[in-house]
Amino acid sequence: MTRYDDLRAARARYLGPSLSLSYERPLEIVRGAMQYLYDDEGREYLDAVNNVCHVGHCHPRVVKAAQEQIAVLNTNTRYLHDHIVSYAERLSGLFPDPLQVCFFVCSGSEANELALRLAHTHTGRSDWVVVEGAYHGNTTSLIDISPYKYDGPGGAGASRHVRKVVMPDVYRGPYRDGDTAGAAYAEHVKEALDAGGDQDRSVAAFVCESLLGCGGQIVPPPGYLAAAFDHARTAGAVCVADEVQVGFGRVGTHFWGFETQDVVPDIVTLGKPIGNGHPMGAVVTTPEIARSFDNGMEYFNTFGGNPVSCAIGLAVLDVIEDEGLQERALAVGGRLKKGLEELGARHQAIGDVRGLGLFLGVEMVSDRSSLAPAAELAGSVVEGMRDRGILLSTDGPLHNVIKIKPPLVFSADDADRLVESLDEVLEETPPE
C-alpha cells in the first residue's frame, strides 16, 4: 500500500462514513496560497469553489493577525477587550440601520441556531417558513429547517413546525417571467404564513438565503425578498437572511446579498468567509430583537468572539477593503459570466448561466426545451476540470449545477483559464 492508500484506509476507519470526499480519486491537499491549493506531489490546483478562504488561502495579513494575537491572549468574552468591541463596531458599520447588535459564534450553523432562538424569543412563536432546497446547518433544529437535508437521502421529511415554499427559480420553477416572478414566488410565502391558523401555530420567521447556494446558485427574481418580507412582517414574523455563503462582497455590486434585493432583514447570519477559514460566525440584529432575547437567560459562547477570532475578522475586513475585493468580484465575476454565456451559445448542454459577482452557477441539461437535468454530465465535467487542475463541484436539487465561488483574489486570467478549460472538457465529454 502506498502512503496515499494508507491515509484513505485510516480515514475510512477513524472518521464517520457519512462524511464523503470530493472527486473519484480524492485529492490529498497539503498547502494553500491565495487562489491555489497544492497536493502532496506539489501539483497546483486553481480553487474555483472555496468561498470560505474568501480573501485567499493563508492570506499573509490574516495569518499574521492570528499569529500575533494567539501569542498574546486568547480567552473568553467575559473580560473587556478592545478587539471584540472594535470588531462589532466595524461589522455593524457595514449594515444598514437598524441592524446594529452583534453576537459572535463559531460557525454558520451556530449563527442560524441562534437566529432561530432570537426569532422565537422575540415573537413567542415556533413555526418557520423556509425555501425548498435550502441548507442552513448541521444541528438537529437546522436539519429540520433545511429541505436540502430533510427531503434528501436519509432525511425524515418536514417536521410539523416547518412550512416549505417553492424555490424562486426563474429557470426551472413555475414562474419564469423576470418582471412578475418575484411577486408570484412571494405569494407562496404569504400562503405558507397564513396556513397555520391559530396562535399556537404561527410563524416566528421567514428564513431565506439571500441567494440560494445548495438550491443551485439561484438568484431570486427582483422584488422577491421585498414582497416576501412584507408578507412575513404583516403576519408578525421576522425575516432572517442567511448570508453564510454570499456575504462579504462576493456578489460584487453590494457587500451583502440581501442588498441586491433592496431589503433590510431583521436578523442576518454570517459564517464561512467571515474568518477566511478560521471557525467563526456572527449574528447581526436589531436592538429591539436583542432586547427581547435579554429575558434573564444569559447567552454565553465559550469561543465565539475571542480575541484571536476578532483579530482575524478585522484582518479579513481590512483585506477586502484594501485590496478592493468587492470591486474585483464584480469585474472578474462579470468577465467570467460573460465567458460562460458565450460557451452556452456553443454547447447545448449548458442550459443556464446565472449568478452575481463571483457566485455563479452553470446548470447542465440534456435537453434545452424539457430542461431534463444532466447530473452525470455535470459530475464528469467537474472530474475533467479537476484533471486540468481546476477545482469545482456540483449542487442543486437535481445535482446538475456546477458551482463557481472562488476566493475573491481570483483574477481575470483565472477566469479566462476556467472558461477555456471548460470549453475543452465539454468538447471531450459525451452529452448525456
Cell output for 397: 436539487
Size of the residue set binding ligand PMP (CB under 6 A): 15
What is the closest distance, in whole angstroms, from the C-beta atom of residue 369 to ligand PMP in the complex? 32
Q: Which of 5, 44, 47, 42 is nearest to 26 (CA)?
A: 5
- Per this entry, what is the length of the chain? 432
Q: Toward ligand PMP, which CB reaches closer, 136 or 172? A: 136
CA distances from 168 to 41, 189, 228, 278, 305 (A): 44, 11, 11, 32, 35
What is the closest distance, in whole angstroms, from the C-beta atom of residue 113 to ligand PMP in the complex? 9
Among residues 127, 132, 144, 242, which is the contact residue for ligand PMP, using CB under 6 A? 242
Cell output for 138: 448541521
Q: Do the beta carbons of residue 20 and residue 382 sit within 8 Å?
A: no
Q: Toward ligand PMP, which CB reaches closer, 108 or 333? A: 108
* 209 forms part of the interface with ligand PMP (CB under 6 A): yes
* 414 forms part of the interface with ligand PMP (CB under 6 A): no
Q: Select the residue whose beta carbon is closest to ligand PMP and give its number.
A: 108
* 292 forms part of the interface with ligand PMP (CB under 6 A): no
Among residues 136, 337, 354, 403, which is the contact residue for ligand PMP, using CB under 6 A? 136
* In the block, residue with C-alpha cell 491549493: 37
Q: Which of 256, 281, 331 is nearest to 102 (CA)?
A: 281
Considering only the stretches 134-142, 333-341, 343-351, 419-427, report the one whose residues sit in contact with ligand PMP under the rule CB under 6 A: 134-142
* 138 forms part of the interface with ligand PMP (CB under 6 A): yes
Q: Do the beta carbons of residue 209 and residue 241 sit within 8 Å?
A: yes
Site for ligand PMP in 347-406 (CB under 6 A): none
Rounded Cα gap, residues 221 and 260, in angstroms: 10
* 112 forms part of the interface with ligand PMP (CB under 6 A): yes
Rounded Cα gap, residues 54 and 35, in angstroms: 9
Q: Toward ligand PMP, which CB reaches closer, 213 or 361? A: 213
Considering only the stretches 133-141, 167-175, 290-298, 328-336, report the one whose residues sit in contact with ligand PMP under the rule CB under 6 A: 133-141
E strand intervals along 17-173: 29-33, 36-39, 44-47, 101-105, 127-131, 162-165
Q: Toward ligand PMP, which CB reaches closer, 128 or 135? A: 135
Q: Toward ligand PMP, which CB reaches closer, 217 or 245? A: 245
* 130 forms part of the interface with ligand PMP (CB under 6 A): no
